[in-house]
């Protein structure tokens, strides 16, 4: 029988204990309401960091504690769990389920690898581009799980060749494994639905500040940053730390062709899924133009997302047979816990706002002489290294409203500070426990902790520089 980890036992006790100490045994902070919200946040952070219980269960605490201590009504707290952003992500999850159910995601990934080339470095690039692209639309965990067996099969071609598993072979294995994990992390940055922190941010902006960032507007920021990061990762792995120059790798093309052959010809069901997916992406991209032509339509990204989800459930593949792409029991695979996590994060942010915490942070910063660039740099660095140790969704939920207050205090547009700090939460490259993709490739046995950390520290520093440049030069142009 597996023992319950000691850290989880301690966390389970210390969460409510710290709540009691802050709420009842410390001097009032700002106000009674603010003290209560800080106590709730401390409880949630301890449970999130130690994972004493599921992080989604922790996200339910505001639903009990905020109404209990009269910070907000149950209706006001519950509204955060039904936010449009939660349903935007729900629709994205359903789209991903449809792609996975008909194996279309694997066909797309294999074709990307096939067309990038079959020399060792091109194979690595192919895996990274395929992983990055798929992570824009389906979860980085699902993408990594899909790509890992394909990569392992390619690596086995090297272990079974005449010269055995040489140093160059090992470098290739490390590069392709880390390339998949890190591209999955970076790929999610590109779209609103690519990774949960993006949606937490968009929800905060809409709920608290009436600021809307459309699907396309986010892609104007996310795609360049994601693309640059993926190519930096590729360069660091293949040209700097783990080169595999001179490696002969003639069998890889045959393997990719075999995998595609095993999938068979594109089925009618795959085409059915693809055209609905393309319609949804088309509507996301051209939503503002459509709304300007037909103002009464008033399409939103969430409406389009729900339309896509409904289409897979209601547009029959075969009306005669009553055959639909998705049935409701398919949603058993859907990450419902993440949706609750969104709600909990938004509820905590609302609690910080109504209790005056964000206003006090803003006022304190505005009365100080802190350099704007230094503040932005410190916040980006703090977020990036903290996300190595705890859930980036939980971290964004706690820090985003505080960062918004800091931006208001510095008298700069909150988007300029919130966007790079939020993106920093997806740049976890150092440790296996930092993100599920890191853990998944680490479990393959081809990666050592020191190898991941060596690459990760370099990528973390580069990411910080890139995000500071984004804050200083890129965001003022886009916004």
- Binning pLDDT at 50, 70 and 90, where does residue 250 land? low
Those residues whose C-beta lies under 8 Å from the C-beta of residue 325, and which sit 6 or more positions away, are 98, 101, 102, 269, 272, 273, 276, 312, 313, 315, 317
pLDDT tens column, 443-466: 777 888 888 889 999 999 999 999
The answer to whether residue 476 is domain-embedded is no
pLDDT tens column, 342-401: 788 788 878 887 888 777 777 777 677 778 898 889 889 988 888 876 777 777 888 888
pLDDT tens column, 65-124: 999 998 889 999 998 888 887 888 788 888 878 888 888 877 877 787 777 776 788 888
Task: Say yes or no: 40 and 177 in one domain.
Answer: no
The answer to whether residue 247 is domain-embedded is yes
Domain end marker among 42, 71, 100: 71
For the chain, what is the domain count?
2
Task: Say yes or no: 190 and 320 in one domain.
Answer: yes
The answer to whether residue 127 is domain-embedded is yes
Asked whether residue 251 carries a pLDDT value surpassing 60, the answer given is: no
Task: Say yes or no: 144 and 276 in one domain.
Answer: yes
Those residues whose C-beta lies under 8 Å from the C-beta of residue 352, and which sit 6 or more positions away, are 37, 41, 358, 401, 402
Task: Say yes or no: 102 and 9 in one domain.
Answer: no
More confident residue, 433 or 43: 43
Task: Say yes or no: 192 and 310 in one domain.
Answer: yes
Task: Say yes or no: 238 and 311 in one domain.
Answer: yes
Task: Say yes or no: 174 and 215 in one domain.
Answer: yes
The answer to whether residue 434 is domain-embedded is no
Asked whether residue 2 carries a pLDDT value surpassing 60, the answer given is: no
Rounded to two decimals, the pTM is 0.77
Burial of 265 (0-12, 13-18, 19+ CB in 10 A): exposed
The answer to whether residue 414 is domain-embedded is no
Nearest to 171 by CA among 448, 422, 394: 448
Domain end marker among 21, 37, 71: 71
- Looking at residue 67, its pLDDT comes to 93
Residue 76 and residue 222: Cα distance in Å, rounded? 32
- What is the extent of the structural domain holding 141? 85-333
Task: Say yes or no: 66 and 91 in one domain.
Answer: no
pLDDT tens column, 179-238: 999 999 999 999 988 888 888 898 888 888 888 888 889 999 999 999 999 999 999 998
The answer to whether residue 396 is domain-embedded is no
Task: Say yes or no: 310 and 240 in one domain.
Answer: yes
Domain end marker among 43, 71, 99: 71
The answer to whether residue 300 is domain-embedded is yes
Task: Say yes or no: 139 and 199 in one domain.
Answer: yes
pLDDT tens column, 101-113: 888 877 877 787 7
More confident residue, 142 or 129: 129
């Amino acid at each position: 029988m597996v023992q319950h980890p000691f850290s989880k036992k301690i966390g389970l006790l210390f969460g409510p204990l710290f709540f009691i100490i802050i709420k009842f045994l410390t001097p009032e902070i700002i106000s009674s309401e603010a003290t209560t919200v800080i106590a709730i946040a401390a409880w949630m952070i301890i449970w999130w960091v130690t994972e004493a219980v599921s992080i989604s269960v922790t996200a339910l605490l505001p639903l009990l504690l905020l109404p209990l201590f009269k910070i907000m009504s149950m209706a006001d707290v519950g509204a955060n769990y039904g936010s449009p952003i939660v349903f935007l992500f729900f629709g994205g999850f359903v789209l991903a389920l449809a792609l996975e159910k008909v194996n279309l995601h694997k066909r797309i990934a294999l074709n990307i690898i096939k067309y990038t080339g079959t020399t060792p470095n091109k194979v690595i690039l192919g895996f990274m581009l395929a992983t990055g692209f798929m992570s824009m639309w389906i979860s980085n965990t699902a993408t990594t799980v899909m790509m890992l067996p394909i990569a392992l099969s390619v690596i086995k071609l090297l272990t079974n060749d005449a010269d055995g598993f040489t140093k160059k072979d090992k470098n290739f294995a490390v590069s392709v494994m880390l390339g998949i994990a890190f591209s999955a992390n970076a790929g999610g940055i590109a779209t609103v639905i690519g990774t949960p922190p993006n949606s937490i941010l968009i929800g905060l902006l809409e709920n608290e500040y009436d600021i809307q960032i459309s699907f396309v507007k986010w892609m104007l920021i996310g795609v360049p940053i994601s693309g640059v990061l993926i190519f930096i990762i590729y360069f660091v792995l293949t040209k700097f730390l783990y080169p595999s120059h001179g490696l002969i790798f003639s069998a890889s093309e045959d393997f990719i062709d075999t995998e595609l052959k095993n999938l068979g010809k594109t089925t009618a069901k795959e085409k059915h899924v693809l055209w609905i997916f393309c319609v949804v992406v088309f509507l996301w991209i051209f939503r503002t133009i459509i709304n300007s032509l037909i103002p009464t339509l008033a399409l939103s990204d969430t409406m389009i997302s729900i339309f896509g989800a409904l289409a897979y459930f209601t547009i029959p593949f075969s009306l005669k047979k009553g055959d639909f792409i998705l049935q409701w029991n398919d949603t058993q695979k859907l990450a419902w816990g993440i949706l609750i996590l969104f709600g909990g994060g938004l509820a905590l942010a609302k609690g910080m706002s109504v209790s005056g915490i964000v206003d006090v942070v803003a006022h304190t910063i505005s009365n100080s002489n802190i350099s704007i660039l230094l503040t932005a740099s410190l916040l980006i660095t703090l977020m990036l290294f903290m996300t190595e140790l705890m859930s980036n969704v939980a971290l964004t939920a706690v820090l985003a409203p505080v960062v918004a207050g800091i931006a208001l205090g510095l008298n700069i547009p909150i988007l300029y500070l919130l966007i790079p700090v939020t993106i920093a939460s997806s740049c976890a490259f150092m440790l296996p426990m930092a993100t599920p993709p890191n853990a998944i490739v680490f479990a393959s046995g081809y990666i050592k902790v020191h190898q991941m950390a060596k690459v990760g520290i370099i990528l973390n520093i580069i990411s910080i520089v890139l995000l500071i440049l984004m804050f200083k030069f890129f965001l003022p142009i886009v916004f």
